[in-house]
A and B are shown apart, each in its own frame.
Chain A
Amino acid sequence: MSDTIAAVATAMSASGIGIVRISGEECMDVIHRIYRSKGGRKDIRTVDSHTIHYGYIYDGNEIVDEVLVMIMKAPRTFTGEDTVEIDCHGGVYAMRRVLETVVKNGARIAEPGEFTKRAFLNGRLDLSQAEAVIDVIQAQNSYALKSSISQLKGSVKRTIEGLRSRIIYHIAYIESALDDPEHISVDGYGEELEEDVKKQLQKIRHLLQTASNGKMIREGIKTVILGKPNAGKSSLLNLLVGENKAIVTDVAGTTRDILEEYITLSGISLRIIDTAGIRDTEDIVEKIGVGRAKDVAKDADLILYVVDSSTSLDQNDVEIMKLLKDKKAIILLNKADLEPVVNVETIVHNFVDNVDNLEGKNVENDNNPQFIHPIVSISAKEETGIEALEEQIKEMFFHGELSFNDEVYITNARHKAALEETEKSLCQVLESITMGMPEDFYSIDLMNAYKELGGIIGEEVGEDLVNEIFSKFCTGK
């Protein structure tokens, strides 16, 4: 329990000034490895406790961020252990890089509630707080577990499962030969293993790249497209997707029947929830029912409400408008190429009449300073207005009106750390083979790789190896 943990201690918002906190025995070594003062002379390990230091965080020779580092030595810290807090200035992206750099240099990402747990176990919290601590740990854990596994893309999960099954096969082969050398021989197995490990390493490296791009997990602003039949939802989706090279289509696990499209607009990822396939039916509200549409809308970070400006508003529109209450939404007046029946005023009036959410401030529309949702005219057919939509989304993001869930970043950083560990272990296997180490040493590192990969998809080792040995290899008297 004395290993060193790290986490982002503040919310990751787009405006992001935030703190990365590190705690544990090797805390000072970790910061020493990555911190450089302006003059480059200061040894951060020897400074006084409870002092603040200006400088830079380095990943190798590359500056990650300009920071303030607060050094707090045990026992007068929150956790009761040596603690370092890094005050990052460079926004979400830099903060994320700082956390990754910290993890790369000897810390691991904290479990949910782990700082609090340590504080308690080190006697830094009152006994009366025990129940509260337990509840925090429990609540955060169940949430984190659920979210971290569900955030993983189906294709990534399958790749990892594939990798794991290769690795456990190799371990099982070696182990059954060790257990039963007279039945199973590993002579010359090193070569076969080397070839396959190299292949698996390629896949790991590819995954690592994916993780660096943030594409390993279901990252992005959860976006739902709503609109009555024939408003042009599918055309809009096709347009957004079609224009976008970075599209990823992903069929989620068996639990949900939802297609997701990933697109990037000006560097901002949108995760478009294609409920029951908007493209097939044209009508999400009708097909899945208002109840379900409500659920989807409730879950969304952003709603794109598509209005057919060439036909008058009807009851369907009113239902949808109600769903926009208290949500971030952009209203798209589609079919701008046709004679308009609906315009900005019509929309606003209908909202005033039907939906009671008109406090708030207009962001975009000069005509209606009181209106909360920005309105953009587009023509999906003529492919016009898309730039304006992009601009709008960008603006909302950088004003902090749209943000991702913190968990996504944490999960990604955790996955990345696990993949890096896996890569290291597999390289160690190759080295052992090259050096001519005995076969039983291969399985030590292979097992590490197997465990790390399991952590990503929430699988423990358990009896996997024994089961694999018995099912694949005929051993015994």
Chain B
Amino acid sequence: MNLLEEYYDIVVVGAGHAGCEAALAGARMGLETIMFTVSVDSIALMPCNPNIGGSSKGHLVRELDALGGEMGKNIDKTFIQSKMLNKSKGPAVHSLRAQADKQAYSREMRKTLENTQHLTVRQGEVAKLLVEGKQITGVATYSGAIYHCKAVVLCTGTYLKARCIYGDVSNYTGPNGLQAANHLTDSLKELGIEMFRFKTGTPARIDRKSIDFSKMEEQFGDERIVPFSFSTNPEDVQIPQESCWLTYTNPTTHQIIRDNLDRSPLYSGMIEGTGPRYCPSIEDKVVRFADKDRHQVFIEPEGLYTNEMYVGGMSSSLPEDVQYAMYRSVPGLENAKIVRNAYAIEYDCINPRQLNPTLEFKEIKGLFSAGQFNGSSGYEEAAAQGLLAGMNAALKLKGKEMLILDRSEAYIGVLVDDLVTKENHEPYRMMTSRAEYRLLLRQDNADLRLRKKGYEAGLISQEQYDYLLWKEQAIEEEIKRVEHTNIGANKEVQSLLESLGSTPLKAGTTLGELIRRPELDYQKLASIDKQRKDLPMDVMEQVNINIKYDGYIRRQLKQVKDFKKMEARKIPEDINYDEIQSLRIEAKQKLNLYRPISIGQASRISGVSPADISVLLVHLESR
């Protein structure tokens, strides 16, 4: 045998946002980890939009950072504009979004990977999974090399049997013309894994020199930048920022699109994959929202070292000539020169209900997966899953209990639970409305929610953890103090209230009660709070939010208590649903298919009724 043979603990397949997090988590937790990529030059590539974060996605990044992931730190080092979205709304929906310098982002991540102990980066295409019994034992590359291992994390993104399409042109390549991975799907199917085919798309990139910005509205970043990472010093991110630009489509644009719909591969049937409804191509928008006479178009820089500009809002798979015509009908783009065409991409992914909430396959021990391979979309969704899958692979190999985040603990928990429990017919995107306990799952308290778990896994340092403990205590003490601080209706108080547009006091009250007034907050009342100690910003923020929204927060905490009870009722792996006679047939089928780990998860499967849950409870009790 001349074949190359090596031994590792963990093999990570793919070096996108999921793969990078999985590999870093595995290696940082002390396991020998090798990460495969079809091209080392495309590590942490951002093949679509040039930003990280956004509504609810920003939450994912903060959570990932709290657990010890890399994405937040990496974007803090490489962003060129940053905004806190929804600042005028409640704290639950504040969300960070940063424009990235794509090349810098990719380079910086590569540097981190290459300098991480226990981590090997390797170019090559994994073509086959090696499984003995129900246990993963290694992978084989296309070249025939064998890598023995105890766990595999699949993060193949959009590369499996990828096909890029615009007009009647189609290429069997991954994004940006990168080599697709054409062999692994067959190996997965042989192992009995159910596959889906999904589709997504990206707009054209246009040469900055060909754009007339005077016809567009300039979009600036925030004056005071908040970093993504809890470990980044806020002073380090106050840098000069780049602008984005806003313009609009118009009836002419829409007419061009309508006239050429028959040439779109989407409508001609050439594309078979299921595309996402939330990220429609411009032709989709024009068809589905026919009454709208304009759509927004955001022109965003792809980085500092390139003239390429991303045309947000106008992804398309129309033919090249139509693309030219439609982009050029937009004010400011009359003379636009396209650097890269817009295209749609189809790829293989799995039906994620085959996974446990640990992201391990139910039927193959030691096989984990993350990212678009699991039917999600978005860099942040991918990274969050990658971290969880990598952590769990490592925890498992160390003989520790794997981490499951539930819906009341993190957006990551909502994301994973939705993926493994609900029926997904399109690439899954995180949305704030999917989180039922979102008042508790804020981006500002991700560290308080999750740092401890990261520390226990070994991804958070002692120093960081000690700060967390101090912070928890400081918040608790300050809330108590504020709630018990009496405020008299004296002259100083009344004149402050008046100056803040707040009704004067009739009688004395507490500082807490004043903070709860919509027009007031913790900061604004500083001058009448004589005993106030000097506290860090993040502590003051928590004190303010917890007092201000106390009523709502308590309501959700009560709901969470009930929710947790159901999650805590575990269903043994060896349960035989067919034996439970009173279960309805549909419920039996669904439960057999999903094999939920808890009564809580079972109750969220569509087709399982509350009565079925009662039956299950009674059955479990009588076992």
Does A466 count as interface, using CB distance less than 8 angstroms? yes
> In the complex, A465→B298 CA distance in Å?
27
Which residue from chain B places its CB closest to the CB of A128 in the assembled complex? Answer: B622
Q: How far is the CA of A130 from the CA of B451 in the complex (A)?
A: 43
From A111, A121, A182, A465, contact of B618 by CB (8 A):
A121
Contact with B along A407-438 (1 / 0, CB 8 A): 00000000000000000000000000001111
**Which of A172-180, A227-235, A305-313, A326-334 is the contact stretch?**
A172-180
Residue of B nearest to A130 (CB): B622
For A114, the chain B residues whose CB sits under 8 A away are 614
- A 174-204 binary contact with B (CB < 8 Å = 1; else 0): 0100111111000000000000000000000
Q: Which of B571-623 contact A (CB under 8 A)?
A: 580-582, 606, 609-611, 614-615, 617-619, 621-622
Tell me if B49 counts as interface (CB < 8 A to partner A): yes
Contacts of B276 in A (CB 8 A): 476
* Min CB–CB distance A407 → chain B (angstroms): 16
Q: Give the contacting residue for B615; candidates A134, A436, A444, A465; CB below 8 A.
A: A134
Q: How far is the CA of A471 from the CA of B618 in the complex (A)?
A: 40
Task: Establish whether residues A182 and B433, one from each chain, have CB atoms under 8 Å apart when the complex forms.
Answer: no
Min CB distance B214 to A, Å, is: 21
Q: Is B491 an interface residue (CB 8 A)?
A: no
CB distance from A348 to the nearest CB of B (A): 49
Which listed residue (B55, B90, B289, B618) contacts A117, Cβ 8 A?
Answer: B618
Q: In the complex, what residues of B have CB within 8 A of residue A299's CB?
A: none
CB distance from B204 to the nearest CB of A (A): 13
The answer, yes or no, to whether A15 is at the interface (CB within 8 Å) is no
B432 engages A175 (CB within 8 Å)? yes
Which residues of the other chain, B, contact A120 by a CB distance below 8 angstroms?
618, 621-622
A136-152 near B? 1/0 per residue, CB < 8 Å: 01100110010000000
The answer to the question of A469 belonging to the interface, with a C-beta cut-off of 8 Å to chain B, is yes
CA of A466 to CA of B615 in the docked complex: distance in angstroms?
A: 30
Q: Does any Cβ of B come within 8 Å of A154's Cβ?
A: no
A264 within 8 A of B: no
Is A113 part of the binding interface, using a Cβ–Cβ cutoff of 8 Å?
A: yes
Residues of chain A with a CB closer than 8 A to B606's CB: 462
For residue B399, give the distance in angstroms from its CB to the closest CB of chain A. 34
Which residues in window 276-335 of B have CB below 8 A to A? Answer: 276-280, 285, 288-289, 292, 295-296, 298, 312-313, 315
Cβ < 8 Å to A, chain B residues 71-102: 85-86, 88-90, 92-93
**Does residue B7 face the partner (Cβ distance < 8 Å to A)?**
no
Q: Residue B236 at the A interface, CB < 8 A?
A: no
Is A178's CB under 8 angstroms from B615's CB? no
Q: Which of B56, B92, B610, B622 has most A Cβ within 10 Å?
A: B622
Complex partner residue of A138 from B56, B285, B552, B611, CB under 8 angstroms: B611
- State the majority secondary structure of interface residues on A: helix
Asked whether A440 lies within 8 Å of B90 as measured between CB atoms, the reply is yes
Residue among B93, B277, B312, B618 making CB contact with A137, cutoff 8 Å? B618
Decide: B56 and A179 in contact? CB cutoff 8 A. yes
Contact B90 A438 (CB under 8 A): yes
Query: Quick check: B617 and A117 within 8 Å, CB to CB?
Result: yes
Does A439 have its Cβ within 8 Å of any Cβ on chain B?
yes
Contact of B610 among A111, A135, A471, A475 (CB under 8 A): A111
B578 to chain A, nearest CB (A): 15
Say whether A466 contacts B552, CB under 8 Å. Answer: no
* B481 CB-CB contact with A under 8 Å: no
Is B431 positioned at the interface, with any CB of A under 8 Å from its CB? Answer: yes
Contact residues in B for A180 (Cβ distance below 8 Å): 55
Whether A477 touches B89, Cβ cut-off 8 Å, given contacts A3-B562, A175-B431, A444-B439, is no
CA distance A130 to B439 in the complex (A): 40
A133 CB within 8 Å of chain B: yes
Decide: B614 and A181 in contact? CB cutoff 8 A.
no
Chain B residues closer than 8 Å to A288, beta-carbon distance: none
Inter-chain contact B278/A476, CB cutoff 8 Å = yes
A residues near B582, Cβ cutoff 8 Å: 131, 134-135, 137-138
**B378 nearest CB across to chain A (Å):** 10
Mask of A1-43 contacts with B, CB within 8 angstroms, 1/0: 1010000000000000000000000000000000000000000
Q: Tell whether, in the assembled complex, residue B279 and residue A133 are in contact, meaning their CB atoms are under 8 Å apart.
A: no
A268 lies within 8 A of chain B by Cβ: no
Q: In the complex, what residues of A have CB within 8 A of residue B278's CB?
A: 469-470, 475-476
Q: Report if A183-B433 is in contact (Cβ < 8 Å); known contacts: A178-B89, A440-B92.
A: no
| Complex: A3 Cα to B438 Cα, angstroms | 23
**Which chain A positions have C-beta within 8 A of B189?**
none
> Is B536 positioned at the interface, with any CB of A under 8 Å from its CB?
no
In the assembled complex, which residues on chain B have CB atoms less than 8 Å from the CB atom of A179? 55-56, 431-433
Would B617 and A477 count as touching, CB distance under 8 A?
A: no
Verify if B484 is at the interface (C-beta below 8 Å from A).
no
A47 on the interface (CB 8 Å rule)? no
CB nearest neighbor in B for A180? B55
Question: Within the assembled complex, what's the spacing in Å between the Cα atoms of A3 and B565?
Answer: 12
**What residues on A are CB-neighbors of B519 within 8 Å?**
436
- Number of chain A residues whose Cβ lies closer than 8 Å to a Cβ of chain B: 47
Set B86, B292, B295, B422: member contacting A178, Cβ < 8 A: B86
Confirm or deny: B240 has a beta carbon within 8 angstroms of a beta carbon on chain A.
no
CB 8 Å contact bits of A71-89 with B (1 = contact, 0 = none): 0000000000000000000
Q: Which of A121, A145, A182, A477 has a CB less than 8 Å from the CB of B315? A: A477
Which residues of the partner chain A approach B192 to less than 8 Å between Cβ atoms? none
Q: Are B277 and A178 in contact (CB under 8 A)?
A: no
In the bound complex, residues from chain A placing their C-beta under 8 Å from that of B280 are: 474, 476
Decide yes or no whether A441 CB sits under 8 A from chain B: yes
Query: Does B269 count as interface, using CB distance less than 8 angstroms?
Result: no
- Beta-carbon contacts under 8 Å, B393-433 to A: 422, 431-433
Q: Within 8 Å of chain B (Cβ to Cβ): is A127?
A: yes
CB neighbours (8 Å) of A477 from chain B are 48-49, 279, 312-313, 315
| Nearest neighbor of B555 in chain A, beta-carbon distance | A444
A130-B619, A134-B619, A179-B432 given; A141·B614 CB < 8 A:
yes
Q: Which residues of B lie under 8 Å from residue A130 when comparing CB positions?
A: 618-619, 621-622
Bound together, the chains give a CA A142 to CA B439 distance in angstroms of 36
Q: Which residue of A lies closest to B614 (CB)?
A: A137
Whether the pair B434, A466 counts as a contact (CB closer than 8 A) is: yes
Residue pair A127, B312 in contact (C-beta under 8 Å) = no
| Chain B residues whose C-beta falls within 8 Å of the C-beta of A183 in the assembled complex | 296
- Chain B 185-232 residues near chain A, CB threshold 8 A: none
CA distance A3 to B559 in the complex (A): 11
Q: How far is the CB of B464 from chain A (nearest CB, A)?
A: 30
Tell me whether B518 and A117 are in contact (CB under 8 A).
no
Q: How far is it, in angstroms, between the C-alpha of A142 and the C-alpha of B611 when the chains are bound?
A: 8
A465–B433 touching, CB < 8 Å = yes
B-contact bits for A349-393, CB 8 A (1 contact / 0 none): 000000000000000000000000000000000000000000000
How far, in Å, is A268 (CB) from chain B's closest CB?
A: 34
A418 → B minimal CB distance (Å): 15
Task: Identify B433's interface contact among A178, A438, A441, CB under 8 A.
Answer: A178
Given A127-B622, A134-B619, A475-B278, are A444 and B552 neighbors across the interface (CB < 8 Å)?
yes
With both chains docked as a complex, state the minimum distance between the C-beta of A477 and any C-beta of chain B, in angstroms: 5
Q: Give Cα A462 to B422, complex, Å.
A: 10
Known contacts A476-B278, A477-B279; A182/B518 CB under 8 A: no
Q: How far is the CA of A59 from the CA of B98 in the complex (A)?
A: 57
User: Is A182 touching B617 in the complex (CB atoms < 8 A)?
Assistant: no
The interface centre, meaning the residue of A114, A466, A477 with most chain B CB atoms within 10 A of its CB, is A477
Instruction: Evaluate contact between B614 and A178: CB separation under 8 angstroms.
Output: no
> Which residues of A line the B interface, CB within 8 A?
1, 3, 111, 113-114, 117, 120-121, 127, 130-131, 133-135, 137-138, 141-142, 145, 171, 175, 178-183, 435-441, 443-444, 462-463, 465-466, 469-471, 474-477
The 4 residue pairs across chains A and B that have the minimum distance between CB atoms: A130-B622, A141-B611, A438-B90, A470-B277
Given contacts A121-B618, A137-B614, A438-B88, 5 further A-B pairs with CB under 8 A are: A3-B562, A117-B614, A130-B622, A440-B89, A469-B278
A-B contact pairs, 13 of them (CB 8 A): A111-B614, A130-B622, A134-B615, A137-B618, A178-B93, A182-B296, A435-B518, A436-B518, A438-B89, A475-B278, A476-B278, A477-B49, A477-B313
